[in-house]
Chain A
Amino acid sequence: MAEITFREALRQTLREALLGDERVVLMGEDIGAYGGSYGVTRGLLEEFGPDRVRDTPISESAVVGAGIGAAMGGLRPVVELMTINFSFLAFDQIINNASKLHYMSGGQISVPLVVRMASGGGSQLSSQHSHSLEGWYAHVPGLKVVVPATPYDARGLLKTALRDENPVIFIEHTALYAMKGEVPEEEYRVPFGQASVHRPGRDVTIVGYSGSVHQSLRAAAMLAEEGLEAEVIDLRTLRPLDIDTVVESVKKTNRAVVVEDDWRTGGFAGEISSLIQERAFDYLDAPVARVCGADVPMPYNKRLETAALPSEEQIVQAVKGMS
């Protein structure tokens, strides 16, 4: 077992994919000569050449569309969008083309495309560079949405994504790139639709994904000091969503808190809450609580920004409010 960073786990996985399958092609802004704006693709251009690691113009729509077209034409492209914030420019391609091609062609066309993007706020990058809109993609039938929270999952889920015949939106929280974690040397994969329980507990279920998993774990530590044992669940993929694991947990704890960075109103936490309520109604001792980002454009000022994002304290408060 090696301890490597989230970033390194992704890089290694991409490299292995390039080595193992001629059809794999990477495309994105500054992924080649620059080494990737988050360093994920460092060294790959040098090793595999410009035909396989392609720097693109700033042209999100055409680049994602070209990725879709290339997938239609037999390649297995991996498009990197520098951040989720720029992906809006490619919304038309992702939603009107990628997610629908298999369906509207009556099954003739498949789009084995992976679109990777960095997501999340908290670095004072202000409102246009701080979105966490995993939920918007998870809303769309025809897409798969993957949100790893650890290096182990980053590698395992990316491997699965690279083999999926459907368009996969693979979202990496910027705060996690430098995070270290144990990653086995042996071959393994993490399937989609399988949440993982990071920490067992019997008093409350805390559900998170991506960055919010770690916040939830820190909140759990704080709760433990007060004798409350929280079970922390990492969803790992939002579509397909493993709600069964969450429900099983809630049956045990009778309380649930959902944590996500995204804006509270209309966020995916609402979907998870609704599912818990539907499936575990008789096991709830309190309404499902949500700890989410504030309904504001992300401010620049540090304190304001912190206030706009979920915190461990808020999670702890939410839990105590239902005990």
Chain B
Amino acid sequence: MTTRARSRAVRKQPDRGQLADLLRRMMLIRRFEEKAAEMYARRKIGGFLHLYIGQEAVAVGAISTLGPSDYIVSHYREHGHALARGLEPGPLMAELFGRATGVSRGRGGSMHLFDVKRGFMGGYAIVGGHMPLAVGLALASSYLKNGRIVLNIFGDGAVNQGEFHESLNLASVWKLPVVFLCENNLYGMGTDVRRVSAEPEIHKRACGYNIPAERVDGMDLLAVREAARRAVEWARGGKGPYFLEAVTYRFRGHSMADPEFYRDKAEVERWKAQDPILRYRRHLEGEGLISEKETRSLEEGVEAAINEAVRFADESPEPPPEALYEYVYKEGK
């Protein structure tokens, strides 16, 4: 069977385990983020904290379509992406706590998570600044012909940055295997995307670079997954980049310090009513693909995993002061 035919076949038979796993991953992200918020309020986590609550379907939907050797290059609202990719909550929480057992050894923090073995190539704080890196990774894959594609995730705030345009152009003209995934949560920090974008329907910009594009409901896990599949297939087929705009919403502020003056509570409530986890859960339960008991069991498992993650982080040592200069350079041959 060709890959295409096989994937079609798989699609026909819903794999209960796999579907339940998708739900579990979303719950894991949700609970991790809630816990991170608590830990930040308790000063275990310092600096900035950008929560992914409400956007879980995008991370899980898109990343679940990647292969194990594919790359992800994300931005600073990345905990959800990391968890969706399979990074363990313990070392993730430890990184947020700044411990030596953190995924970036305590050197990166919330905005700079790395796990090379899982192809998770960061975690970047400059809006749009990471996009050229994704293009470069795709260049390497294309050149080495190793079949690895790159999922580049960014927000609506990045689409007016020069590097966005440069990256789309370069990926397109060199036909590189990048899936550009824009998580449009409607606000770049406190600024409504419509106020600052000549073309606020973000996916339409891709045509200026001859990149196929679509917009998808980011609160619908299965819709995201379907669209991501198309994108990944396209890229993996050597046809060049693909552009996805997932419209979603973050239920919390931009970061912990955000008092949210720029959007009204009614809007937030409207979006909360579309909670992707509830939506997906109801879908599964409705289709008889999961029972309430199983759901509860998933919840308990997630709760335990997150509590364990906090315990692990809490008990982990900090990097010693003598190690300040470690990793400035790679000392090689």
Contact = CB atoms under 8 A, between A and B. Distances in A.
Do A and B interact? yes
Interface of A: 25, 51, 54, 56-57, 59, 61-75, 77, 92-93, 96-97, 101-110, 141-142, 144, 163-166
B326 interface: yes
Contacts, number: 155
Interface stretch (B51-59, B134-142, B265-273, B302-310): B134-142
Interface of B: 71, 73, 102-108, 112, 114-116, 121-126, 129-141, 143-144, 148, 162-163, 166-167, 169-170, 173-174, 326-333
Given A63-B170, A73-B139, A107-B327, A96 B133 contact: no
Contact of B328 (A51, A73, A108, A142): A142
Given A68-B132, A72-B137, A105-B108, 8 more contacts: A62-B131, A63-B166, A65-B129, A66-B132, A75-B139, A93-B129, A104-B112, A109-B116
Given A67-B136, A102-B330, A109 B121 contact: yes
A109 B140 CA distance: 15
28 contacts: A25-B139, A62-B163, A62-B166, A62-B170, A63-B166, A64-B132, A65-B129, A65-B131, A68-B132, A69-B134, A69-B139, A70-B140, A70-B143, A71-B136, A73-B136, A73-B141, A92-B163, A96-B125, A101-B122, A102-B330, A103-B327, A104-B122, A106-B102, A106-B327, A107-B105, A107-B326, A108-B104, A109-B121
B296 to A, nearest CB: 37
B126 to A, nearest CB: 5
Contacts of A142: 328-329
- For A77, A102, A106, A165, the residue with the greatest tally of chain B CB atoms inside 10 Å of its CB is A106
Contacts of A96: 124-126, 129
Given A69-B135, A73-B140, A165-B332, A105 B163 contact: no
B106 A106 contact: yes
A141 B328 contact: yes
A105 B114 contact: yes
Contacts of A77: 136
Contacts of B121: 72, 109
Contacts of B174: 54
Contacts of A166: 329-330
